[in-house]
Amino acid sequence: MAVRLTRRQLLIGAGISAVALKSPGLFADLADGTAASPISRTIPSTSESVPAIGMGTWITFNVGSDADLIESRTEVLKTFLDRGGSVVDCSPMYGTSADNLGKALNALQAHDQVFAATKIWTADESATRAQAESSRNRWGVARFDLLQVHNLLGWRGHLETLKEMKARGEFRYLGITTSHGRRHDELARIMATEPLDFVQLTYNVLDREAESKLLGLARERGIAVMVNRPFQGSALFRRVQSETLPPWSAEAGISSWAEFFLKFVISHPAVTCAIPATSQVAHMQQNMAAMYGELPSESLRQRMATFVRSL
């Protein structure tokens, strides 16, 4: 299938390699001295490449109209983009997050650099199009890359409308989300029958229910997997707060707990990207570092999971 790239897709693709030139500090860390490129994954339905670490916006971008905090979140987004990120996830459920994301994108003039993903979150199955349009205005993007039905809410009606909208080119990829391991059986049925490009679910070093069915099914059906709550909403950091990194984690070039948790997630072969959220530039730097260097092998992944479970 011939895939025509838009200017924006080209920019995202070019960004993935150009970041290698833009961020020398990142590459100086590599033992063999060679410049690495960011880890990216392909979306099975089109083979388009996206960076393996994206950004979530739940809580972190819901700062109301607080100008100081909007400015600080703009810095977070800038750090994310500077380090090769592009996938940004939001939802109408996240209060003022979409408005503030729009303001940050505007301040950075970065609409073309993001893979824009939002959700439809309303029980009113006839409001799909109106909500998508409202979100588009809030973000200030020409169109979304990915529209997802949030938490399976009203999924039958929304999916029908979204399929029509996608066919007309109003957005590019169709998805559905869940989290916290909820309603996996129903999600599996939808994945098996609907023409989804993406599925979003919770997966992290402790919450691994998705491994038993959904991740395999996603590979089988050619569905990209976006992972939410990679830090279990920061609970993983609390769990390890008095622990030092085990020395063997250096095998995968891991130098922080953030990298430990994120590399565990993105090293699963079915995972397309993880979307950690943060309100802090320093945390964003740590998170984006997970997109470079080695990834853990399968045996190391098992060791990582066993280690965290034992704490």
Partner 1 sequence: MTDVDWLSYSLQDFLMFGPQVFPRLFIRLNQDIWPWQLLIVPLALVVPWWMCRPAPALRRLAVWLVAAAWIGSGAGFLVRYFGEINWPAVWFGWAFVAQGLLMAGLGTFCRLKAIPKGRAGAFSGLWLTSVVVLPWVPVLQSGELAALAVFGLTPDVTLAASSLVLAMMPRVLLWSLLPIPLFWVLFSAATYWALQMVWLLLLPAATLIVFALCFWLSPSSARSRDRQSVHRDPVRR
Ligand X SMILES: NC(=O)c1ccc[n+]([C@@H]2O[C@H](COP(=O)([O-])OP(=O)(O)OC[C@H]3O[C@@H](n4cnc5c(N)ncnc54)[C@H](OP(=O)(O)O)[C@@H]3O)[C@@H](O)[C@H]2O)c1
Residues 191-230: x where in contact with ligand X by CB under 6 A, - otherwise, as a string: ---------x---------------------------xxx
Least distance (Å) between residue 39 CB and partner 1: 28
Asked if 258 is part of the footprint of ligand X (rule: CB under 6 A), the reply reads yes
Phi, psi of 35 (to 5 degrees): -75, 130
Least distance (Å) between residue 150 CB and ligand X: 5
Is the alpha carbon torsion for 71, 76, 79, 80 positive or negative? negative
Site size for ligand X (CB under 6 A): 29
The residues that touch partner 1, with contacts defined as CB under 8 A, are: 58-60, 62-66, 68-69, 94-96, 123, 151-155, 180-183, 233, 279
Burial call 83-105: b when 16+ CB within 10 Å, e when fewer: bbbbbbbbbbebbbbbbbbbbbb
Least distance (Å) between residue 241 CB and ligand X: 10
Residue nearest to ligand X (CB): 56
Asked if 277 is part of the footprint of ligand X (rule: CB under 6 A), the reply reads yes
Residues 6+ apart with CB under 8 A from 215: 203, 225, 268, 270, 271
Selection from partner 1, ligand X, none that 23 binds (CB < 5 to 8 A by kind) is none
Cα angle for residues 305, 310, 311 (degrees, 5° grid)? 105
Residues that bind ligand X (CB under 6 A): 56-58, 60, 89, 150-151, 177-179, 200, 228-234, 237, 258, 275-280, 283, 286-287
